[in-house]
């Protein structure tokens, strides 16, 4: 598969430049994709950001070199892009659990963060249904918080946020403003993706004609072409939406002619039974066709 080859080429480029400056733009060029799409796909497939991967690979090699009696901590720190021994020591200890000076004393355990290798995996997965939708710009309102991709924290923090606004009455208050019943499910909006892996997540809805109070966040969603994917789940497990996200990046994007573009991503929910146990969900991702 061409995308697998491109991803492995990107990994080789990183390996060849670990002791020099590495720009995400240059990595994305090697992978023949946009910077934005590369960052989103890399995290979704691997579970960590591209900057995390580069940092951990550098600290792995730094640990190996520090086991040599001839190496100096300051030289290794500079070699792998750290401006000061203190910054290097803090980063090193976060990964390895020990300081560089402890390594020099010998008989210390190190952690190895291995080089990645992408491979084709043939599975008996069911097919993925999707549709392409054109949609004009619109505005939404709601309440939001900042989460992060680091250590996949968003998979824990987003459900907690949704439970919190349901329990404290915020969800109900918004439904009352919209004229919807209590059990009406608001949509989720991922936006403001940052280089450090952070992003904002909003639970909200389209702005009603009467407007909204100033206490709510208003988000502009630009006109886009959307790839839309569906999943099913229940409230006890609540895994459907996460599984949809994983399959989109692990299976659909690598084999499709599309790539993600900048803009909010949307999660839509709808109860599909009268007991409110089961639901259907949709993931909307802004995309464009890849350039030939």
Q: Domain holding 219: CATH number? A: 3.20.80.10
Please determine, for residue 123, whether its predicted confidence score (pLDDT) is greater than 60: no
Q: How confident is the model at residue 152 (pLDDT cuts 50, 70, 90)?
A: confident
Helices 2-16, 50-66: inter-axial angle, 10-degree rounding: 40
45 lies in the same domain as 189 = no
Please determine, for residue 222, whether its predicted confidence score (pLDDT) is greater than 60: yes
264 lies in the same domain as 223 = yes
CA–CA–CA angle 35, 158, 275 (5° rounding): 130
**For the chain, what is the domain count?**
2
198 lies in the same domain as 271 = yes
Q: Which two tokens stand for residue 219?
A: 């988000």
148 lies in the same domain as 48 = no
Please determine, for residue 124, whether its predicted confidence score (pLDDT) is greater than 50: no
Residue 37 lies in a domain: yes
Q: How confident is the model at residue 167 (pLDDT cuts 50, 70, 90)?
A: very high
Per residue in 65-89, pLDDT tens?
A: 888 767 888 999 999 999 888 999 9
Residue 115 lies in a domain: no
Beta-strand ranges (E) seen in 136-223 are: 138-148, 187-191, 198-206, 217-221
Q: Which domain holds residue 50?
A: 2-105
157 lies in the same domain as 247 = yes
The pTM of the full predicted model, rounded to 2 decimals, is 0.73
The number of residues in the chain equals 292
- Residue 63 sits in a domain whose CATH number is 1.10.10.60
In angstroms, the CA 28 to CA 251 distance is: 19
Average pLDDT on 11-23 reads: 92
Please determine, for residue 188, whether its predicted confidence score (pLDDT) is greater than 60: yes
- Mean of all residue pLDDT scores within the chain: 86
């Amino acid at each position: 598969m061409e995308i697998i080859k491109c991803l492995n080429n990107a990994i080789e480029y990183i390996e060849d430049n670990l002791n020099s400056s590495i720009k995400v733009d240059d990595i994305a060029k090697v992978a023949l994709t946009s910077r934005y799409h590369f960052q989103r796909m890399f995290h979704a497939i691997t579970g960590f950001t591209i900057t995390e991967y580069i940092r951990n690979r550098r600290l792995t090699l730094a640990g190996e070199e520090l086991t040599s009696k001839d190496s100096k901590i300051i030289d290794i720190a500079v070699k792998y892009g750290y401006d000061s021994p203190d910054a290097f020591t803090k980063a090193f200890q976060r990964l390895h659990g020990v300081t560089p000076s402890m390594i020099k004393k010998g008989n210390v355990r190190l952690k190895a963060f291995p080089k990645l290798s992408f491979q084709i995996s043939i599975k008996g997965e069911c097919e993925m249904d999707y549709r392409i939708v054109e949609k004009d710009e619109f505005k939404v309102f709601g309440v939001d918080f900042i989460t992060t991709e680091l250590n996949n924290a968003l998979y824990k923090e987003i459900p907690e946020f949704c439970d919190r606004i349901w329990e404290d009455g915020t969800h109900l208050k918004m439904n009352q403003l919209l004229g919807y019943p209590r059990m009406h499910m608001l949509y989720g909006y991922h936006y403001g993706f940052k280089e450090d892996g952070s992003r904002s997540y909003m639970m909200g809805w389209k702005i009603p004609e009467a407007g909204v109070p100033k206490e709510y966040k208003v988000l502009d969603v630009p006109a886009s072409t959307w790839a839309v994917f569906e999943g099913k789940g229940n409230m006890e497990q609540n895994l459907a939406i996460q599984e949809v996200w994983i399959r989109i990046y692990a299976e659909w994007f690598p084999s499709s002619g599309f790539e993600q573009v900048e803009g909010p991503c949307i999660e839509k929910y709808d109860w599909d039974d009268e007991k409110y146990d089961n639901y259907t969900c949709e993931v909307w991702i802004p995309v464009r066709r890849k350039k030939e």
